[in-house]
Structure 1
């Protein structure tokens, strides 16, 4: 059952990506037509002035595809037409434009038409008799249908479309995205320099997160545990002075000192759990997240599909991300339920926390989301937040976890 669910989810994801690619293909078609007009205008000299603007429009369309494929974007297009045409990135974008307008459009059209045809043809026997006889020619059938046998044959073509979506959907996605992944990626040197800049930024974020964590531990020890221990010291001194003159009062003071010592121990345990929760070592990531879900103020379902164990630092990061996210759900979302899904794809740990609350989550609103992002980026991970007003809210996290 889990396998079928994964296959269906992959098929829906493939259709969504194909339709998204069709959208950028239509934008690419508009850019292609505009470039064609500019090239024709070059014959009379006007197009040379318009060429840089047309190439900037091409860059904007290509960047939309880069965002969709999660590819690093290059810098601006050179302003002079001659420099722009000599730019390697511009030439690669022109090649991508031709391929995406043709191959990308075809794959996207299949991704859009196949589900619609599958829905129409599989249900055709239920409503074909309501159509006029002279207009009863369904999709993929070149002849008119006049009886139930023909309608059932039409439904088989709908089943065939479903098979195409399930079986060939991921392959069509790869075909559609191949030009973008090979032609829109920056050259090796550019990629390396951008990667160095990205790692420098994440290193700074890691240092900031580390400093913030040290400040949190310091505040917890100073404001809580240290005050408790000072109180224990004061109470023990008072008990020592009262032993001879009022033994009953000394016993009462010692009881209060014991209570303060127990509270200090509890706060120390809380600080230690905040550094690296022992439940991760005892029960693993699945058990630890189940414990978080059980203590959440909102009914929460946890689905964990992670074979084996990840590095302790990665599991700790995942644990704290889920803990903070569920805390936000309970405090701010007004949700009736939440779902935590954790999976692993090769060397990446994927988390998805969703709720059916009011939405509108904002990292600038003091909800802890900025802290979650800093902790994730410190491990070279990525966070995506989708929280439109009215909900639902979905947080997707991608963490490297080794091979």
Structure 2
């Protein structure tokens, strides 16, 4: 939680910078709009459009650095020349109105969230430590940051306790505030759906191709498991039953031994069939749900594993299955390669997004294609459901795998 809180604070502080720029651009638009009423500000419109685009591009870059893909909607090439041509091009481009809408939202709501994240911790730190040094101040300065006078120890301790509670609330809500601050940029700064669907089509083509490859590989795995395992066992059962028939006619004393061998082969075949079925869709998901299935995975992990599952609501079976196999593969990788002493799995849901985070305190340095197929398999399975995988594993650790899965009905 501490890592998430610091990351959220860093994101909110970065968003505060672009929010100030958005507010400045918004105020400039108001002034230019007022000047246009008397005809003076018309010459400044191209410059304001360029300023708006520059601020929006800065926010796109910030979001991209955090792994949130926001593609610029503006085509590459030379810009129109001349005042009239530039205004006509801006008016015909839906991105212009979307950028202006983003300025209004980010310059107000984004600024408010950023100020809360940056200023409130400083205020609460002062209030929480006030009982340690308030007696060193003159009596006329015995006031809180909000100007409320405090003259007694009980009142001072109540102020300090309230500051600690507020700070805990900010830490808990920090990641959600960061996502709220970025939401307007994600929704408004990308290409309009009616203008550029090429990247989306390319991504869907790639993920569907990956899904087909994963499906074919899974079919081959099932075929091998059935052919090399259960089928051979069942053939052995048939042979042994035939031997029992012959023993009944020639040597009844051998019947019991042959039946024992046939029963053993049948039990092994049944066990292998159950293993194949579990590889397709684990029965524990049907019996105990995703929470119970992950509890069983964490309890059976070779590395001690903690589990935190938030309120998930009703999830599609495909999302549950993908989350289950993601955690199972990730914990297998932790046990085999990380040298970790501890792992932790966190599941949470934010609207139509299921977030799965697996962390460990191992030696780090995990990379896709680094000698194993586990991470690549996770990515193929997740991207087949239009999900996103983010791997963070610096040398020395820790390793963090974050998966975001669409889970809307």
Q: Same fold (TM over 0.5)?
A: yes
Contact persistence 1:62–1:93 (CA under 8 A): no
Q: How does 1:78-97 map to 2 (within 5 A)?
A: 78-82=76-80, 86=89, 88=93
Q: How does 1:155-174 map to 2 (within 5 A)?
A: 156=159, 163=166, 166=169
Matched, 1:266 2:271: yes
CA distance in 1, matches of 2:270, 2:176: 58
Change (3 A) 1:392 1:234: same
Partner of 1:215: 220
Q: How does 1:118-197 map to 2 (within 5 A)?
A: 118-127=124-133, 156=159, 163=166, 166=169, 176-177=181-182, 180-181=185-186, 183-190=188-195, 192-197=197-202
Partner of 1:391: 397
Change (3 A) 1:21 1:57: closer
Q: Which 10-residue stretch deviates more, 343-352 or 222-231?
A: 343-352
Q: How does 1:240-319 map to 2 (within 5 A)?
A: 240-241=245-246, 244=249, 246-249=251-254, 251-306=256-311, 308-319=313-324
Give 5+ residue unaligned stretches, structure 1.
30-51
Contact persistence 2:124–2:166 (CA under 8 A): no
CA positional deviation for 1:119: 1.8
Q: How does 1:330-341 map to 2 (within 5 A)?
A: 330-341=335-346
CA distance in 1, matches of 2:179, 2:249: 86
SS at 2:306's partner residue?
Answer: strand
Residue by residue over 1:239-269, the C-alpha shift from the partner in whole angstroms, topping out at 9 and shown as x without a partner, is 5555555544554344223212211111011
Q: What is the aligned residue count?
A: 376
Considering only aligned residues, what root-mean-square deviation do their CA atoms show, in Å? 4.9
Partner of 1:377: 383
CA distance in 2, matches of 1:307, 1:90: 35
Partner of 1:20: 14
Residue by residue over 1:307-365, the C-alpha shift from the partner in whole angstroms, topping out at 9 and shown as x without a partner, is 55423332222222222222222222222222222233333333222222222222212
Q: What TM-score does the superposition give when structure 2 sets the normalisation length?
A: 0.71
Q: Which 10-residue stretch deviates more, 85-94 or 256-265?
A: 85-94
Q: Which 10-residue stretch deviates more, 79-88 or 97-106?
A: 97-106
CA distance in 1, matches of 2:3, 2:169: 10
Contact persistence 1:72–1:185 (CA under 8 A): yes
